[in-house]
Structure 1
Amino acid sequence: MGALLGFSRAMDKVSTVFGVIAYWLVLLACATSAGNAVVRYGISYSSNAWLEVQWYFFAGIVMLGAAPTLLRNEHVRVDLVFGNLSPRAQLWVDVFGLILFLLPAMGLLAWMTWPFFLDSFVRLEESSNAGGLIRWPVKLLLPVGFLLIWLQGLAELIKRIALLRGITPGTEVVVEYHRPEQ
């Protein structure tokens, strides 16, 4: 279990790094959007490349920010029943959810999007818009993002199993489960 928890801690650090990248992409997207608006309406100049780079930044925010969101347990969940379960039952729900849904779905999506990226890379695909950008960098975000979510999901599964076995993972991130106040 020690080696698995070591992998989990390493993956937590990797996800944190990609989370910081996603944070910076938010700033870049906002600055690009504002700059594009100022130039478009201030001096009546525009380029499709500026719009496309914004889309690339947004794709990076979503695809690179999903694994750190999972790490912090801030992902969307329907909490009708989950919040009323005991902490141990919550762990079991997470284990089954990770095994039955998250890991298979993210693995399949990573596998299915790799050829999509590879085809774009080999063909040096470019946007059909005038002044558009090359497409493979944004398409690379798909398999990379899904793989990061899959790996973080595996790390979360390891932590949940450790907790069920009575072992407290030694991570900086604490997964808190609590009952809502009644």
Structure 2
Amino acid sequence: MISLARHYVRVIDGINYRIGRIAMYGIFIMIAILLWSSISKTFFLPSLWTLEMAQFAMVAYYIFGGAYSIQLGSNVRMDLFYGSWSPRTKAWVDSFTVLFLIFYLAVLLLGGIESASYSLQYNERSPTAWRPYLWPIKVAMCAGILLMILQCVSELIKDILRIRGEEA
């Protein structure tokens, strides 16, 4: 059972590490889109697609970087007490609080799946002048939330192993 849990941690951490490293370059996509927006507004006719495309790129950047930031432990914590605790005490607290995060992400995923299926079923489009289909970004959001849930379970397993005095 422990070897299966370690294998799960290794696989999920590897997947989220690679996706997170790729997602980091999403900032350059956003910069390119917004740069083109500025250039086109200054020298040409304004593009209809730039603002919304930058928003979609930002959502993808944020949502696919979420699991990577959980893996790196770069989420916000109250270090007033947490910073002085032993690694085992931190693992106890983290193993308890991650359950709330998993619950929140599961509810978010259920809502996202409903919204994405509605978008796919009715070919939902944005009400703007550009009118892009919304299902690609909604499906990407569901995939990113699922990756965050899988990473949270991986972190829970690591915390349980730390509580037992074993190395993840």
The TM-score range, normalised by the shorter chain, is: over 0.9
Identity, % of aligned pairs? 27
Q: Secondary structure at the match of 2:83?
A: helix
Residues 52 and 132, structure 1, Cα contact 8 Å, conserved in 2:
no
Deviations 1:35-77 (A, max 9, x none): 111111122x122212111110000011111100000001111
Amino acid at match of 1:62: Y
Aligned positions of 1:150-165 closer than 5 A: 150-165=149-164
Amino acid at match of 1:74: S
Specify the alignment match of 1:128 in structure 2: 127
Counterpart Cα distance in 2 of 1:80 and 1:147 = 31
Scaled by the length of structure 1, the TM-score of the pair is 0.87
Q: Number of aligned residue pairs: give it.
A: 167
Specify the alignment match of 1:107 in structure 2: 106
Task: Answer 1 or 2: which has greater helix percent.
Answer: 2
Unaligned runs of 5+ in 1: 170-182
Q: CA deviation at 1:162?
A: 1.1
Q: CA deviation at 1:131?
A: 2.0
* CA RMSD between the two structures: 1.2
Worse-superposed segment, 116-125 or 140-149:
140-149
Residue 12, structure 1, aligned to residue 46, structure 2: no
Residues 47 and 131, structure 1, Cα contact 8 Å, conserved in 2:
no
Counterpart Cα distance in 2 of 1:112 and 1:79 = 32
Amino acid at match of 1:48: L
Worse-superposed segment, 65-74 or 125-134:
125-134
Q: Secondary structure at the match of 1:84?
A: coil
Specify the alignment match of 2:76 in structure 1: 76
Q: CA deviation at 1:156?
A: 0.5
Residues 40 and 47, structure 2, Cα contact 8 Å, conserved in 1:
no
Scaled by the length of structure 2, the TM-score of the pair is 0.94
Q: Secondary structure at the match of 2:24?
A: helix
Q: Secondary structure at the match of 1:149?
A: helix
Unaligned runs of 5+ in 2: none
